[in-house]
Amino acid sequence: MRRVARACTSLRLVIGLLAQGTQVVGGSTAVSAAVADDVAKAYDEDAVSRRAAAAVLGALVADAATMGLHWIYDLSQIQKLLGKSEEPAFFEPPSCPYYEYESGVQSPYGDELMPVLQYMTSGPGGQQEGTLDGSGFAKFLAEFYRSYRGRLNKSSRAMMEAVLQGGRNWPECGDPRDSQANNFVKVVPIVARYAGQPGLVKAVDAAVRAQQNSDEAVAFAVAAALILERVVLGTHNVTAAVQWAAAGAEGSGTSLSRSALEAVRAVLVQHQAGTPMRELLYAPGSDSKPGRWGPSCANPGALQGALLAAIQASEAPQQEGGGSGGTAYARGVRTNMLLGGDNCSRSVLLGALLAAQAGPAAIPSAWRSKTRSYDSSDVLVGQLLGFRAAERRR
């Protein structure tokens, strides 16, 4: 295994390899297999695998930690619930006004990440080297939703009925009008499997269109996936990855849509201005009226909120004394959950980004033990990374 230091020279090598060739896959440009193979050899695969595992597990833990305060669109209500408590994570009793789950389980958004991970490991994709195809995944996802005992949202219910009752195949089974945050929560295990290897954009397109057959939904999901891929590969920290995407994602072999570019660039504008997240999610002086981005699951605001929250947490001064409160991951997740609204979808992406940047140790051990899916998910992540290793050996 060849190890390459993260110096400027190695970064130029990687970008140069990426720029050598692209091919059109499913309507999107993607790095050719030969070039991606050369790129993969330029990375420290052990380190990439650790960051990939951290991304998936960090997303799931962040989601579970946030679930107790999910979908509360009044900040004063969150403060009343917390009272004098200084720990919002895994808030008990879980107080989401739209569903009643037990503490430690995934929110409906974390539960949309799970079938992606399951499909590529214990499901049909696991028999195809951990890959994800649209037709197979759509059928798998519909069956997952049929047996799901939690809350189904509009697009998840619509795709389930389209497949199981309407007999529709991928991608027509996906809602053509929906572009909400269900899109980017699905990309985390896909990035873990495909980062630095061919097939990332095609797999993201397949997963998203199974539920949301919308160009806008795919565009925002691809932007999230490419940013996370940079962090997982270790070529960029969170801020640099967002800057890279805002500059056009040079070397990725993929052209981001105008709407995705505008959304990511707006994140950097607000970051450079030092704008607090609350002022973007809520109107001035209000605890509940939506602001410029809004606190809901609607994109691009949900994506922008997740990216800016991750940047702000990663750049905040490290707290003294260590412990879970001192990690950017824990601070970012806590800050986000206190901002209410659809904080769980934001937590999935920002949790993946911050955990990938800092590594698995950034996830507080107490939070891991409270996340009910952690141990079983850890096993599936190990299988997923086994497919990465097999791809590299070929």
Asked if residue 345 has pLDDT above 70, the reply is yes
According to the model, what pLDDT value does residue 225 have? 99
Residue 388 CA to residue 45 CA, distance in Å, equals 9
Q: How confident is the model at residue 8 (pLDDT cuts 50, 70, 90)?
A: very low
Asked if residue 26 has pLDDT above 70, the reply is no
pLDDT in tens, 53-87: 999 999 999 999 999 999 999 999 999 999 988 89
> What torsion, rounded to 10 degrees, do the Cα atoms 238, 242, 245, 246 define?
-160
Percent of the chain with pLDDT over 90: 84
According to the model, what pLDDT value does residue 12 have? 35
Mean pLDDT value across residues 122-151: 97
**Phi–psi pair at 31, nearest 5 degrees:** -65, 135
Q: Indicate the domain borders of the chain.
A: 8-393
- Mean pLDDT for all residues in the chain: 90
Asked if residue 262 has pLDDT above 50, the reply is yes
For 210, other C-beta atoms within 10 Å of its C-beta total: 29
Q: Is the peptide bond before 171 cis (omega within 30 degrees of 0)?
A: yes
Q: Which residues of 265-302 are buried (b: 16+ CB within 10 A; e: fewer)?
A: ebbbebbeeeeebbebbbeeeeeeebbebbbbbebbbb
According to the model, what pLDDT value does residue 7 have? 33
Q: Are 60 and 384 in contact (CB under 8 A)?
A: no
Asked if residue 320 has pLDDT above 90, the reply is no
Asked if residue 139 has pLDDT above 70, the reply is yes
According to the model, what pLDDT value does residue 372 have? 98
pLDDT in tens, 218-253: 999 999 999 999 999 999 999 999 999 999 999 999
Asked if residue 377 has pLDDT above 80, the reply is yes
Q: Which tokens sit at 94?
A: 């879980």
Asked if residue 323 has pLDDT above 70, the reply is no
Q: Are 227 and 350 in contact (CB under 8 A)?
A: no
Asked if residue 30 has pLDDT above 80, the reply is no
Q: Are 306 and 294 in contact (CB under 8 A)?
A: no
Q: How confident is the model at residue 20 (pLDDT cuts 50, 70, 90)?
A: very low
Residue 119 CA to residue 64 CA, distance in Å, equals 21
Residue 145 CA to residue 143 CA, distance in Å, equals 5
In this predicted model, which residue has the larger pLDDT, 142 or 35? 142
| Strand ranges inside the chain, DSSP E | 22-25, 28-31
According to the model, what pLDDT value does residue 16 have? 42
CATH superfamily of domain region 8-393: ADP-ribosylation/Crystallin J1 (1.10.4080.10)
